[in-house]
């Protein structure tokens, strides 16, 4: 089929828009990477703007990994991300599966409660008082348990479960399987796309943990990565009294941003396929 002039013009415009959108996405990343691996003297010489460094050095990364609180904060963030995501997935699945069963008594009422929490929250102070009453202050669990279940993710997972053939459940029950066995041996293996999608939501949220850390944690040894990175970004040319007396430079600031973002950038391509599939399947039914 020969494309007409109108089709070629349309395709050219689409490609141009996509190219501009891609450039807008890649440009900030290129800037951050370039500055982080460029000697600070060269960065100053170029007014702080470099896209293609003439020389490369990893001094900023070395100093951050050896002289700052980055390594300790990194492992705190890894713990929060791994354990927190596991807790999130288990609790979200256990909540979404019963809600997906149409024969659940009071199903509409419980769904209304889930949606209600998406529109209205208890507020910062009541939430803080609850966390304090539970004895979670100054612990990593204060950054995990208050957000253990996100209502939006419950609805995504519920919609996915509802699309599974009802015959699977009926045949399993005829074979004597209980609900927990059905969930573990039938529903969970078939729900890998939506679990990867929801898991990615939770994982990114935990990796970028900041607000709950500054609200509930005062022990510096429990600060996650984003809090330490924020301290480095906020300080300019003054000696850092809170980050092991390290003088931050622009290269170190950009290096800290890369260290905080790199794990998510590495992990995302491996689960992108499941992420796209899970979002599409979960969006068919509301």
Instruction: Say if residue 269's pLDDT is above 80.
Output: no
Helix (H) or strand (E) holding 252: helix 250-282
What is the structure's pLDDT at 286?
Answer: 41
What is the structure's pLDDT at 238?
Answer: 52
- Answer for the pair 243, 232: CB distance below 8 angstroms, yes or no: yes
Cα 85 to its chain centre, rounded Å, is 9
- Answer for the pair 55, 38: CB distance below 8 angstroms, yes or no: yes
pLDDT digits (tens, 9 = 90+) for 25-83: 888 888 888 888 888 778 777 777 777 888 888 888 888 887 777 888 889 999 999 99
Task: Tell me what percent of the residues of the chain surpass a pLDDT of 70.
Answer: 88
Tell me which of 153 and 64 has the higher pLDDT: 153
Task: Tell me what percent of the residues of the chain surpass a pLDDT of 90.
Answer: 21
Query: What does the alpha-carbon distance between residue 169 and residue 26 come to, in Å, rounded to a whole number?
Result: 46
For every residue of 74-125, DSSP letters joined together read HHHHHHHHHHHHHHHHHHHHHHHHHHH-TT-TTHHHHHHHHHHHHH----HH
What is the structure's pLDDT at 1?
Answer: 55
What is the structure's pLDDT at 281?
Answer: 56
- Answer for the pair 283, 227: CB distance below 8 angstroms, yes or no: no
Look at the pTM and tell me if it is higher than 0.85. no
Read off the tokens for 1. Answer: 């089929």
What is the structure's pLDDT at 2?
Answer: 57
Q: Average model confidence (pLDDT) for the chain?
A: 83
Read off the tokens for 269. Answer: 């391509």
- For residue 209, give the nearest of 228, 224, 187 by alpha carbon: 224
**Cα atoms in the 13 Å half-sphere on the side-chain side of 181:** 11
- Answer for the pair 36, 251: CB distance below 8 angstroms, yes or no: yes
What is the structure's pLDDT at 284?
Answer: 47
> Cα(first)–Cα(last) distance of the chain, in Å?
39
3-state SS assignment for residue 177: coil
163 φ/ψ angles, rounded to the nearest 5 degrees? -85, -10
What is the structure's pLDDT at 244?
Answer: 46
The single-letter DSSP state of residue 246 is: P
Read off the tokens for 154. Answer: 């419950």
Query: What does the alpha-carbon distance between residue 274 and residue 232 come to, in Å, rounded to a whole number?
Result: 35
Tell me which of 275 and 98 has the higher pLDDT: 98
pLDDT digits (tens, 9 = 90+) for 199-257: 888 998 898 888 899 999 998 889 998 888 888 777 654 544 444 444 457 787 888 88
């Amino acid at each position: 089929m020969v494309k007409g002039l109108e089709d070629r013009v349309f395709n050219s415009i689409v490609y141009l828009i996509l190219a501009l959108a891609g450039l807008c996405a890649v440009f900030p990343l290129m800037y951050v990477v370039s500055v982080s691996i460029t000697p600070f003297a060269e960065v100053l010489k170029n007014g702080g703007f470099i896209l293609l460094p003439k020389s490369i050095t990893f001094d900023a990364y070395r100093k951050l990994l050896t002289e700052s609180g980055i390594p300790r904060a990194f492992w705190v963030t890894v713990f929060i991300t791994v354990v927190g995501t596991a807790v999130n997935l288990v609790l979200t699945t256990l909540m979404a599966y019963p809600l997906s069963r149409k024969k659940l008594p009071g199903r509409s009422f419980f769904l209304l409660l889930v949606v209600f929490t998406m529109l209205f929250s208890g507020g910062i102070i009541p939430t803080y008082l609850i966390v304090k009453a539970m004895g979670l202050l100054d612990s990593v669990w204060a950054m995990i348990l208050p957000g253990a279940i996100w209502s939006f993710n419950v609805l995504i997972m519920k919609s996915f479960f509802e699309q599974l053939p009802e015959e699977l459940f009926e045949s399993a029950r005829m074979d004597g399987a209980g609900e927990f066995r059905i969930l573990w041996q039938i529903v969970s293996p078939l729900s890998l796309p939506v679990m990867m999608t929801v898991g990615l939501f939770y994982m990114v949220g935990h990796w970028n943990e900041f607000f709950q850390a500054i609200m509930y944690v005062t022990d510096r040894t429990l600060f996650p990565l984003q809090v330490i990175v924020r301290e480095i970004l906020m300080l300019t040319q003054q000696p850092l009294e809170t980050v092991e007396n390290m003088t931050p430079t622009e290269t170190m600031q950009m290096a800290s941003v890369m260290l905080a973002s790199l794990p998510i950038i590495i992990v995302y391509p491996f689960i992108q396929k499941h992420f796209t599939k899970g979002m599409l399947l979960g969006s068919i039914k509301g």
